[in-house]
Amino acid sequence: MKLLVTGGAGFVGSVATRMLLDAGHEVVVLDDLRTGHREALAPDAIHVEAGIHDAASVLTPQAGFDGVLHFAALIAAGESMVAPEKYWHNNTVGSLALLDAVRAAGVPRLVFSSTAAVYGNPTELPIPETAAKAPTNTYGATKLAVDMALTSEAIGHGLAAVSLRYFNVAGAHLDGDIALGERHDPETHLIPIALEVAAERREKLQLFGDDYPTTDGTCVRDYIHVADLARAHLLALDVARAGQHRVYNLGNGNGFTNRQVVEVVREVTGHPVPVEVAPRREGDPAELVASSALARAELGWEPRKPTLHDMVTDAWAFYRTRLVDRR
């Protein structure tokens, strides 16, 4: 297929691009590099350095795209609470512009990076796709709005749409000279921050809240390896059907407290990783654990690297390639 990947210079989009190319697809990456990295771009994909608001310049009716994988977004939940307009404009208005271009060009299918953040504080665990959607942060709300627009687009215009609701993505894709991993700036995700501490680039790790109703008081999250997640996108392209909007949660179904994650980082890196307890962050749900039963049944998806140990080991290997680069 000829595919447009938005956000292909980012963490998940770069790994998915690599897998799509390896599977024989033709890929054009649309990424304005606002948070992505030029080095993460696949040399065998065409890169258009532009924003999703200008998607119509690439997604022309003549270009003959078979599908879009839409990863581009701003992703920091904390920032979305203090600069909400940035998130609405980029994530929601930008996605609507992309949908206009998809419709005008007659592109038949689209796979969207949705998020566990659409559920807010879940009323049932593990969380099925049918659970109530009540985001506790603006980031989650901007993504839920796009999910709803996709449902409308499928009904109104026959788009074959799939939303993949990722839980916490971790790990890295390492293959020969290729090293693709997590590099957000500022970093807000627990594992890469803990690795910065292990590499002595940061003094200590802040744990935001230790008074949640969980086993050790810290938040519980479900982690999924980025390679397992990227593979789910290829499967999603296969099950997309005209006029339907399918939604799949993607996580491993195992929750780990923040303290348990830090313990695994200590094991893998051999560093004590000092921690400091800080106040809760606005909008952080206590516990997010996926039911991925639907993805397993309908996509035939099975995680190959379900353990936190594997994810941290790969993330650490990626982090160390960057330390070598910086010398």
13 binds ligand NAD (CB under 6 A): yes
Identify the CA nearest to 230 among candidates 10, 13, 4: 13
- As annotated, the active-site residues are 139
Kindly tell me which residue out of 17, 18, 25, 36 binds ligand NAD, with binding defined by CB under 6 A: 36
* Tokens read off for 211: 């008074």
CB of 229: closest distance to ligand NAD in angstroms? 9
Quote the CA–CA distance of 159 and 181 in Å, as a whole number: 31
163: β partners: 112, 247
252 binds ligand NAD (CB under 6 A): no
285 binds ligand NAD (CB under 6 A): no
Site for ligand NAD in 67-86 (CB under 6 A): 71-73, 75
CB of 83: closest distance to ligand NAD in angstroms? 14
> What is the helix (H) or strand (E) element at residue 101, kind and residue range?
helix 94-105
Q: Are strands 168-170 and 67-70 parallel, antiparallel or unpaired?
A: unpaired
Query: 221 and 167 in contact (C-beta within 8 Å)?
Result: yes
Q: CB under 8 Å to 230, separation ≥6 — which residues?
A: 12, 15, 16, 18, 19, 173
Nearer to ligand NAD, 197 or 229 (CB): 229
90 binds ligand NAD (CB under 6 A): yes
308 binds ligand NAD (CB under 6 A): no
7 binds ligand NAD (CB under 6 A): yes
The residue assigned the tokens 């203090």 is 82
Instruction: Give counts: helices (H), strands (E), the chain.
Output: 10, 15
What is the sign of the dihedral through the CA atoms of 273, 278, 280 and 283?
negative
Nearer to ligand NAD, 115 or 252 (CB): 115
Exposure on the CB side of residue 115, measured as CA atoms within 13 A: 29
CB of 142: closest distance to ligand NAD in angstroms? 9
Measured in whole angstroms, the distance separating CA 50 from the mean position of its chain's CA atoms is 20
- Part in contact with ligand NAD (CB under 6 A); list of ranges 151-159, 165-173, 209-217, 315-323: 165-173
129 binds ligand NAD (CB under 6 A): no
- Part in contact with ligand NAD (CB under 6 A); list of ranges 7-15, 172-180, 209-217, 230-238: 7-15
257 binds ligand NAD (CB under 6 A): no
Exposure on the CB side of residue 90, measured as CA atoms within 13 A: 22
Quote the CA–CA distance of 252 and 263 in Å, as a whole number: 19
122 binds ligand NAD (CB under 6 A): no
Kindly tell me which residue out of 163, 168, 249, 291 binds ligand NAD, with binding defined by CB under 6 A: 168
52 binds ligand NAD (CB under 6 A): yes
Q: Which residues bind ligand NAD (CB under 6 A)?
A: 6-7, 9-13, 31-36, 51-52, 71-73, 75, 90, 94, 113, 115, 166, 168-169, 184
